[in-house]
Amino acid sequence: MNIQNIKKVELHLHLDGSLRPSTVLELAKKDDIELPTYDLNKLKKYLSVDEHNKDLVEYLKKFEIPGKVMQTKENLSRVSYELVEDLAKDNYIYAEIRFAPHFHLEKGLNLEEVVEAVLKGIEKATKKYDIKITLLLCIMRHLSLEKAFEILNLTEKYIGKGVSGLDLAGDEFNYPATIFKKVFNVARNKGIPFTIHAGEARGPESVWEAISLGAKRLGHGIRSYEDERLIDCLKKEDIALECCPISNLHTHAIKDFRNYPLKFYVENNINACLNTDNRTVSNTNYQKEVDFLSSYINIDLEDINKFNKNAIKSAFITEDEKKQLLNKLK
Ligand SMILES: O=c1[nH]cnc2c1ncn2[C@@H]1O[C@H](CO)[C@@H](O)[C@H]1O
Ligand SMILES: [Zn+2]
């Protein structure tokens, strides 16, 4: 099924996992940054994983190289602009892009400068292309509670000015979300929307933890089907699952894709949508996700329409903005 011309919405996409390899090479040469190779084809292998990737922890190592070229305002704006351009060319009408500001302080920028540089690149692209973008700021699980509060404060400062919410990302296996209970309590009290990566490297118990913190959206949440009570809860609370099949293949979150639960979720009125997670690290895009899924399960245009609608419903934007996007889908 060719979906190039179908309008698309995506809620789960990491900026640093989605850099153009040619740009990584160009920026590294410009700034004299050491790379393992200066051959573009070989570099692509360093920037992405294949089916031999072991687990999430190994997957996360792939973010080191893109991180090296994302340490100046100019470069941060450039890669942000390019990602939005890539999305616009794939016919996206709305996307939420996420990244972790703490990973971009190595050359002396402060957190505000990092966020503003990314917003600047996004703004430049959204002026040129007919696409709406908002930004999510990631708290990293392995960093301190103090740093998590910095991200909360940063989100509060820029909310409504290009930033729409918070995320918790990183090593789910070794760092439970409950470490950040205080942060998410404050976020909830202040009405700051958030999503939490859960149910990817661990099973339903990790999803329960995220829900106990008040998450109304889950990054992946894919393993929720293992627990019937959890399925009931997702349905009752209308909690959204941001599903990313090819990423799940790479982190081994799901063993058998013939039973990939996305279809089951949608058929059972669970709010699930389709996402790419990391366009470069997982060497993917929306079309590839659909092709990949189609080789295991039946999905059709009606399903894609449902994914889009679910994504819009759960987006961290106003009701008016949601209506506008729904009209655009027609
Ligand atoms: O699928 C994922 N699960 C958990 N963390 C992830 C995933 N993809 C990327 N990141 C982490 O989020 C950071 C900010 O964008 C990335 O640097 C990476 O460490
Ligand atoms: Zn993710």
- What are the pLDDT digits (tens) for 118-164? 999 999 999 999 999 999 999 999 999 999 999 999 999 999 999 99
Helix %, strand %, coil % for the chain, to 5? 50, 15, 35
At 290 the pLDDT is 98
The answer, yes or no, to whether ipTM is higher than 0.85 is yes
Predicted confidence band of residue 244 (pLDDT cuts 50, 70, 90):
very high
pTM summary value: 0.98
Binding residues: 12, 14, 16, 170, 197, 277
Examine the pLDDT at 51 and tell me if it is beyond 90. Answer: no
The length of the chain, given as a count of residues:
330
Of residues 150, 172, 200, 242, which has the active-site annotation? Answer: 200
Could you tell me which residues come within 8 angstroms of residue 248 by beta carbon, excluding any fewer than 6 positions away?
A: 200, 220, 222, 254, 260
Q: How far is the CA of 277 from the centre of ligand 2 (A)?
A: 5
Can you list the alpha helix ranges (DSSP code H) found in the chain? 21-30, 40-47, 56-60, 64-68, 73-89, 111-128, 145-158, 181-190, 204-212, 228-237, 245-251, 262-267, 286-294, 301-314, 319-329
CB burial readout 97-127, b (16+ within 10 A) else e: bbbbbbbbeeeebebebbbbbbbbbbbbbbe
Q: How far is the CA of 241 from the centre of ligand 1 (A)?
A: 16
Predicted confidence band of residue 37 (pLDDT cuts 50, 70, 90):
very high
Examine the pLDDT at 305 and tell me if it is beyond 80. Answer: yes
- Residue 200 annotated to the active site: yes
At 50 the pLDDT is 85
Ligand 1 pocket, Cβ-based, cut-off 6 angstroms: 14, 16-17, 56, 60, 63, 98-100, 103, 138, 169-170, 197, 200, 247, 277-278
